A = this chain, B = another copy of it.
Amino acid sequence: MLNNSKPVRPELRERVLKIVQETGFQPNAIARSLVSKETRIIGVMVPDISNNFYSNLIYGIDSVISEYDYSMFLAISDEVVDKELKYLRLFKEKQIDGVIIASIHFLEGNIQTLQEIQVPLVVTGHDLPGYQIPTVNVNNVQASYDATAYLISQGHTKIACISGPLWDPPCGLDRMGGYRKAMRAHDLPIHEGFVVEGEFTAKSGYEAMRRICEEKIRPTAVFVATDLMAVGVLNYLYDHGIRVPEDISVMGFDNLELASLSRPMLTTVHNDPFMYGKAAAEQLLRQIRNEPVERMSTVPHHLVIRQTVSALLK
Contacts and interface: CB of A to CB of B under 8 A. Distances in A.
Contact of A58 (B26, B31, B49, B73): B49
A93 interface: yes
A258 interface: yes
Given A34-B34, A50-B257, A73-B73, A92 B56 contact: no
A62 interface: yes
Copies per complex of this chain: 2
Contact of A30 (B30, B66, B75, B234): B30
A90 interface: yes
Interface in A1-57: 26-31, 33-34, 39, 41, 49-50, 52, 55-56
B71 A90 contact: yes
A263 B240 CA distance: 12
Contacts of A231: 261
Contact of A49 (B62, B75, B235): B62
A77 B90 CA distance: 25
A182 to B, nearest CB: 28
The secondary-structure label for the interface of chain A is helix
B55 A49 contact: yes
B74 A72 contact: yes
Residue in A39, A49, A52 whose Cβ sees the most chain B Cβ within 10 Å: A49
A33 B39 CA distance: 13
Given A49-B59, A52-B55, A55-B50, A263 B263 contact: yes
Contacts of A41: 73, 94
A93 B26 contact: yes
Interface string A253-294: 000011001110000000000100000000000000000000
13 contacts: A30-B30, A41-B94, A49-B59, A50-B55, A52-B55, A62-B74, A66-B76, A71-B73, A71-B75, A72-B74, A73-B73, A202-B257, A258-B258
Given A41-B94, A66-B76, A258-B261, 7 more contacts: A27-B93, A29-B93, A34-B34, A50-B274, A71-B75, A234-B263, A258-B258
